[in-house]
């Protein structure tokens, strides 16, 4: 298997956590996003979206989109499971994961930030304000959702990590990098601390990647 990766990509970070939790190793191909390698012809031939992660399977199939990759891994390597066994719990876990992956993360993506400063001419301070604004909007709702639901345990759903935690931990890392004040999100940070104790989450962290700068 080969993972197209970049240390600071939170979508790739999700896949790194998932691979590590499953105990699956993948060769790594580093796509330097800051240098624009994601828009190079060779990479666009692999993933026409020009985004990481991409996973090439041992059979040579090419998978894109972190959540699709993670669900494929979960179906291919069933233990430990990333989704609960009952349909209602699965929907809950997916709703947390999607709130992060679809409703927070895209606003923080590099190409969006570059459009704000490049095409629209916003200042760096305005760009950073945008970044923090969308994290706060998303985290405020997630904090409410998780803090008042008895299905929340040590992790987002019960006492074992799921797809929801695989999405939450990288988004918390992004928030910290942007110096978002996380004091208003005690449930999210408590869960993040529980994730940070697990070897798979530690191994997948940006600062532990070979391409970290
Ligand atoms: N929905 C996609 C998002 C992928 C994505 O946005 N990746 C970012 C890094 S976190 C990227 O490659 N950005 C390159 C760019 O913006 O030019 C997924 O979950 O895989």
Secondary structure of residue 130 in the 3-state scheme:
helix
Q: Which atom of ligand 1 is nearest to the CA of 52?
A: 12
Residues with CB under 6 A from ligand 1: 9-11, 33, 38, 51-53, 65-67, 101, 109-111
CA of 61 to the centre of ligand 1 (A): 20
CA of 31 to the centre of ligand 1 (A): 11
What would the pLDDT profile of 60-109 be if each residue is shown by its tens digit? 999 999 999 999 999 999 999 999 999 999 999 999 999 999 999 999 99
CA of 89 to the centre of ligand 1 (A): 27
Which has the closest alpha carbon to 65: 29, 109, 107, 14?
14
CA of 60 to the centre of ligand 1 (A): 22
Cα separation, 159 vs 38, in Å, equals: 37
Q: Which single residue is written with the structure tokens 């999100």?
A: 185
Q: Which atom of ligand 1 is nearest to the CA of 15?
A: 20
Cα separation, 195 vs 213, in Å, equals: 23
Cα separation, 70 vs 77, in Å, equals: 10
User: What pLDDT tens digit does each residue of the chain (213 aa) get?
Assistant: 999 999 999 999 999 999 999 999 999 999 999 999 999 999 999 999 999 999 999 999 999 999 999 999 999 999 999 999 999 999 999 999 999 999 999 999 999 999 999 999 999 999 999 999 999 999 999 999 999 999 999 999 999 999 999 999 999 999 999 999 999 999 999 999 999 999 999 999 999 999 999
CA of 2 to the centre of ligand 1 (A): 17
Cα separation, 84 vs 24, in Å, equals: 20
The residue whose CA is least distant from atom 12 of ligand 1 is: 51
């Amino acid at each position: 298997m080969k993972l197209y990766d970049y240390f600071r990509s939170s979508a790739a970070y999700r896949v790194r956590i998932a691979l590590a939790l499953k105990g699956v190793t993948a060769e790594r191909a580093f796509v330097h996003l800051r240098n624009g390698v994601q828009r190079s012809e060779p990479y666009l031939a692999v993933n026409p979206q020009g985004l990481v992660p991409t996973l090439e399977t041992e059979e040579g199939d090419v998978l894109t989109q972190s959540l699709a990759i993670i669900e494929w891994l979960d179906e291919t390597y069933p233990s430990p499971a990333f989704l609960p066994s009952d349909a209602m719990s699965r929907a809950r876990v997916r709703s947390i994961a999607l709130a992060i992956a679809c409703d927070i993360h895209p606003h923080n993506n590099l190409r969006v930030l570059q459009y704000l400063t490049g095409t629209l001419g916003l200042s760096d301070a305005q760009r950073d304000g945008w970044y923090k604004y969308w994290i706060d909007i998303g985290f405020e709702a997630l904090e409410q959702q998780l803090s008042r639901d008895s299905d929340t345990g040590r992790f987002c759903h019960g006492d074992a990590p799921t797809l929801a935690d695989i999405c939450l931990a990288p988004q918390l890392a992004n928030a910290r990098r942007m110096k978002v004040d996380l004091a208003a999100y005690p449930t999210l940070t408590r869960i993040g601390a529980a994730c940070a104790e697990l070897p798979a989450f530690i191994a997948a962290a940006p600062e532990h990647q070979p391409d970290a700068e």
